[in-house]
Chain A
Amino acid sequence: MEHLIREDRGVLVISLTGDVDLESSPRARTVLLECVGQNRTVFVDMSAIAYIDSSGVASLVEAFQSARKGGNRFALVAVSEVALRVLQLARLDRIFPIHASLNDAFADDA
């Protein structure tokens, strides 16, 4: 798994790429929690996720809960088909705010 953090219109956009699995999810968790900890809106670009397992989903859940606790916005953006299937299996597809694209996410914010 690779990750990239950039700032776009005041929002931290984290792009996760590749396999988010038992080996890489601790890194994903650290990155997500650090961004969320900055008290800012965080979008996770999931378009390039090739695989995600329960540990990866758990990292997203933890970051989401942490953001909510701090009153910050946390959304998943452009979720790849594979990742969406896993979120559906976990019945989390209706719990996470999910947007088809980054623009949609910003539009929703406006």
Chain B
Amino acid sequence: MDINDAVSEERGTRLTQGLGLLADMGRDFADTRDIEGTLTRALTRITEYLDSEGGALFLLEDEGRILRCHASVGVIRIDGLTLPFDHGVVGNVVLTSQARIVRDVTSDPNFDNTVDNRTGFSTRSILCAPMSIKDECIGAIEVINKRGRDGRFEPADLALLEILCSSAAMALLNARLTASLVEQERVRREIELAAEIQRNLLPAALASDFPLFGLNIPARSVSGDFYDYFTLADGRIAWCLGDVSGKGINAALLMAKTASLYRCLGKTETSPRHLLARINDEICETATRGMFVTLVGGIYDPVADKVCFANAGHEPPLYHARDGSFREFEAAAPPLGILAVGDDTKMFPEIELSLKGGAFYVFTDGVTEGALASGEPLGAEGVRQALRDNAKLPLNDRIATIARLLDRDDGALHDDITLLGIDAARPAGTPSDEEQADLPFLYRFAARAELLQGARNAVRDYLTKKGAAENDANDVVLAIDEACQNVIRHAYCGMEAGDIVLEMALAGSHLIVDVRDFAPEIDDITLAPRKLDETRPGGLGTHFMREIMDEVAFLRPSDGIGNLLRMMKQIPVSPVVTKL
């Protein structure tokens, strides 16, 4: 083999090894979580590959002000060493983004011998290339003192180091990006958890006729607003609504603290001014700089229909009297968490108010300052108008309607929306007058004899509520019961019982009842009424139906399944007395 062949073979081998090294590094970086370890492994292989005595990898840190050694191998161990970003050969390479060969450090003006002096190592030659992607340089790798031959690095070494460096830079950026995504995801999950815990701090929905109803719609996942209510041992209901200054996690944490204090202390301290004073001092004791809570807290007495409350720096609560007038209650005390008051319980004066069938609302400034679809803020007058417009809705629908004015599908919600209402006259879940008038009756049950009583009760309730006289209601109950019995005995006879669906509507004095089953079609001849001069049983039920109702007709259900019996009757109804 002549010398030229040997050289070209060696070059070929080096090229293959170089590519192999590149590929290995790429793989290593791709599936590592341990970036430092991977960087050290990469540096070790580069240093070995370039046949050098040592190597070091520097990354820019502290917004590019310093270079820190993140990995070092071979004769120098300088992990953690920091240099000013423009210092030494490394600094020069990073600054210029140009790879460099320094064959003799003594003749290079950039060379800094501080490290040599500290380590006792003697640097002779340096090969250094920037780790850069596009125009961004994130650091550099240097290898020191070529072994063998004349101890000098060749341009080919530099070219290879440059390639390895840019590959390492790419891998490092990817790893950083992945790490930040993982971190973002972790934070997102934690905020999600925090939001769930927060939601659980709000009171659970109570019985539908409960006179209080609250709603909180956070603008972000966590909220600085809160409300609460709970029934005391004597039957009165403690309630509050508050707004923590600021937004985000810190506000959410103070919200959690205040809400917990209220719930805990509010069970024994039922005087709002004492309670607010105690919570105020608790918050002051561990105050986070500059944060405070505006809060209205009080007690509702459902027997007397009376509230007693204190307002600590919060948006004025609003009383909507039965005569349609409104009254505001400006805060007479500072927000909680600003100044400890000790025994001075006059700090949070109480207001007593008889609701007399009217409604009482507390809300956050997210409501008054919230933007309508037009971009205009809802404003205090807008809140009154909305309450006036929706006064006939049950409390929960009324509050949800106002929230919907602000929390639209366009996602323009900027602040948390929180509302709490007290209304014994139209509590949550009561149908409005309009709904009550149109509300159709729907009752579905399995066609079994023991379930007929429940169906009869439901039918009777509906008719009575709609103003039917007792005798008429009893008659209609009998007719419907007989129709259901026919279904049980004839339609589903001998089969596993399917369902019966009762639908009924009483509009004006016109009653329509549909009795639907899902059995095979039956022939209505089997349901012919008996002859009245016979006293034998059978057919009597159908007779009752025809006797009681004005019309009885078998119809084909529109979907062709089962049987539909329609009965109609004119019944006089007295005006419905609504609960006011």
Residues of A at under 8 Å CB distance from B? 19, 21-23, 51, 53-55, 57-59, 61-62, 64-65, 82, 85-86, 89-92, 95
Does B536 belong to the interface (CB within 8 Å)?
Answer: yes
- Chain A residues within 8 Å of B270, by CB: none
Does B511 belong to the interface (CB within 8 Å)?
Answer: no
Residue pair B474, A85 in contact (C-beta under 8 Å): yes
Residue pair B452, A22 in contact (C-beta under 8 Å): yes
Distance in Å: Cβ of B58 to nearest Cβ of chain A? 89
Report Cα–Cα, A59/B536, bound state, in Å.
10
Report Cα–Cα, A34/B556, bound state, in Å.
44
Report Cα–Cα, A98/B544, bound state, in Å.
21
Does B532 belong to the interface (CB within 8 Å)?
Answer: yes
Contact for B541 among A54, A62, A65, A85, CB less than 8 A: A54
Residue pair A22, B488 in contact (C-beta under 8 Å): yes
Known: A61-B536, A89-B544, A89-B548. A54 touches B475 (CB 8 A): no
- Chain A residues within 8 Å of B475, by CB: 85, 89
Contact for A23 among B450, B471, B477, B536, CB less than 8 A: B450
Select the residue from A19, A22, A57, A59 with max chain B CB neighbours within 10 A: A22
What is the predominant secondary structure among interface residues of chain B facing chain A? Answer: helix
- Chain A residues within 8 Å of B482, by CB: 53-54
The 4 closest A-B pairs by CB, nearest first: A58-B537, A54-B541, A23-B449, A54-B540
Does B517 belong to the interface (CB within 8 Å)?
Answer: no
Who on chain B is nearest to A60 by CB? B537
Contact for A54 among B450, B536, B544, CB less than 8 A: B544
Does B456 belong to the interface (CB within 8 Å)?
Answer: yes
- Chain B residues within 8 Å of A21, by CB: 449, 452-453, 456, 481
Distance in Å: Cβ of A52 to nearest Cβ of chain B? 9
Residue pair A92, B535 in contact (C-beta under 8 Å): yes
Residues of B at under 8 Å CB distance from A? 449-450, 452-453, 456, 471, 474-475, 477-478, 481-482, 485, 488-489, 532, 535-538, 540-541, 543-544, 547-548
- Chain B residues within 8 Å of A86, by CB: 478, 544
Select the residue from A54, A55, A65 with max chain B CB neighbours within 10 A: A54
Select the residue from B535, B538, B541, B548 with max chain A CB neighbours within 10 A: B535
Known: A65-B535, A85-B474. A54 touches B456 (CB 8 A): no
Report Cα–Cα, A104/B286, bound state, in Å.
85
Who on chain A is nearest to B481 by CB? A53
- Chain B residues within 8 Å of A22, by CB: 449, 452, 481, 485, 488-489
Report Cα–Cα, A62/B540, bound state, in Å.
13
Q: List 28 A-B contacts (CB under 8 A).
A: A19-B453, A21-B449, A21-B453, A21-B481, A22-B449, A22-B452, A22-B481, A22-B489, A51-B477, A51-B478, A53-B482, A53-B485, A53-B544, A54-B537, A55-B485, A57-B537, A59-B537, A61-B535, A61-B536, A61-B537, A62-B537, A64-B535, A82-B474, A86-B478, A86-B544, A89-B543, A89-B547, A92-B535
Contact for B478 among A53, A58, A64, A65, CB less than 8 A: A53
Select the residue from B450, B478, B538, B544 with max chain A CB neighbours within 10 A: B478
- Chain A residues within 8 Å of B477, by CB: 51
Report Cα–Cα, A59/B489, bound state, in Å.
16
Residue pair B481, A91 in contact (C-beta under 8 Å): no
Distance in Å: Cβ of A36 to nearest Cβ of chain B? 15
Select the residue from A65, A85, A89, A91 with max chain B CB neighbours within 10 A: A89
Who on chain A is nearest to B450 by CB? A23
